[in-house]
Amino acid sequence: MDHTLGHQHAVQPLPHRSGPLTDVRVIDLTAALSGPFCTMLLADLGADVIKVEPPKGDFTRSGGPFTSGDTTRNYGGYFASVNRSKRSIVLDLQQEADRATLVDLVRTADVIVENFRVGVLDKLGIGYEALAAVNPRIVYGAVRGFGDPRTGESPYASWPAFDVIAQAMSGLVASTGEPGTFGTRVGPSIGDTYPATLLALGITAAVHEARRTGLGQFVDVAMYDALVAMNEETVYRYSYWGRPDVPNGNMHPIHIPFGIFHTADGACAMAAPTNHWPILCELIGRPDLIDDERTSTNRSRNGNRAMVMEIIESWMAAHTTAEVIEILGGKVPVGPVNTNAMLFDDPHLIAREMLVALETPGAERPTVFANSPIKFSRTKSGVHRRAPLLGEHDAEVRAEI
């Protein structure tokens, strides 16, 4: 599909704020990726998220990509993706009057979220304890590289961090990539987005508890901690076996077949390590492998890995991706290795409304973003407005307080 026409196949944003969190107000002091992704999740679920920006705005506003014809360049795709469905107000927190306005905002809110380094807001007199004193119900969420001393001391607490640091330290890099290497960073910035997702869950749980008790609390997620939790098998495998992880390429260290396989014109993911193995054998014309003692169980296949892989790889390489999907689809777990261009034509994503078209001020056409994957049968949620211009809702928000 022509990328400039993708919006024609995407859904429009919801007509208004909707979802199970419409009665929750969030004050968003975050910038970059981890914090905005967390508050984006809450906004997609219906929360009223007020993004507080410094006079120059979130620094990611100036980052791309930009569409052709966008002469105003109010913000690029990075900012637009994780700041949709929010309102923007400008406050210079170095100024006493603007700090007072923030405190007034907090009085009206359920949640405040920030991703500064440890102690930054405390030095300004607007840390958790100061804000809880004016609103005891406030849930204060923070995402940092190594957590906050309020929930647990860390020798790295003051260290700055990026996604790649969390990926490397958590063991994720060491178990990813081609055999014989020291590992590979995972492409998407999951060192930011996964901690942010956990923080959104923690915040929602804390709001639930605060409404029962009348007391909020401090909630934080360390990027490092989150990736250790996500990569949980790294921890228990060493506890059981006592040997370090090494990169396994596109295959699984235990299950077989399980991985990415070349086809005649591309690649497919396929996994049939347990009850799907006999079905796979029939479909590829090798029913003899079902009861063969060398291949009948996952354990025996592991002992004869080279033979099994040669059989599967040869069959895959003799068929196009479309043929593999036609033969195996719906019978054993299988899927094409899609590029981002292929996502725009996928009937599943279109049917599930996973692509949403949003207006970009100053641009000639709407641009497309990933919609919320959290679906509800009754309280429909998702994107309801484009990302805000800097200070676009200043008067509106100030009138509310």
Known catalytic residues?
192
Token representation of residue 239: 């506890």
CB 378 within 8 A of CB 371: no
Q: Is 213 exposed, middle or buried (0-12, 13-18, 19+ CB in 10 A)?
A: exposed
Token representation of residue 354: 């996973």
Backbone angles phi, psi at 389, to 5 degrees: -70, 160
CB 167 within 8 A of CB 187: no
Q: Is 56 exposed, middle or buried (0-12, 13-18, 19+ CB in 10 A)?
A: exposed
CB 92 within 8 A of CB 46: no
Backbone angles phi, psi at 262, to 5 degrees: -70, 140
Give how far Cα 314 sits from Cα of 1, 193, 261, 284, 318, Å. 31, 38, 10, 10, 6
Calpha distance 295→302 (Å, rounded): 8
Backbone angles phi, psi at 13, to 5 degrees: -65, 160
Q: How many CB atoms lie within 10 A of CB 347?
A: 7
Q: Is 382 helix (H, G, I), strand (E, B) or coil?
A: coil
Residue 48's closest CA among 102, 121, 105? 105
H-assigned helices in 321-372: 321-328, 340-343, 347-351
CB 398 within 8 A of CB 27: no
Q: Is the dihedral of CA 63, 66, 69, 70 positive or negative?
A: negative
Token representation of residue 130: 């100061």
CA 294 to centroid of chain Cα atoms: 41
Token representation of residue 165: 């640091």
Calpha distance 375→345 (Å, rounded): 21
| Cα angle 15, 20, 25; round to 5 | 85
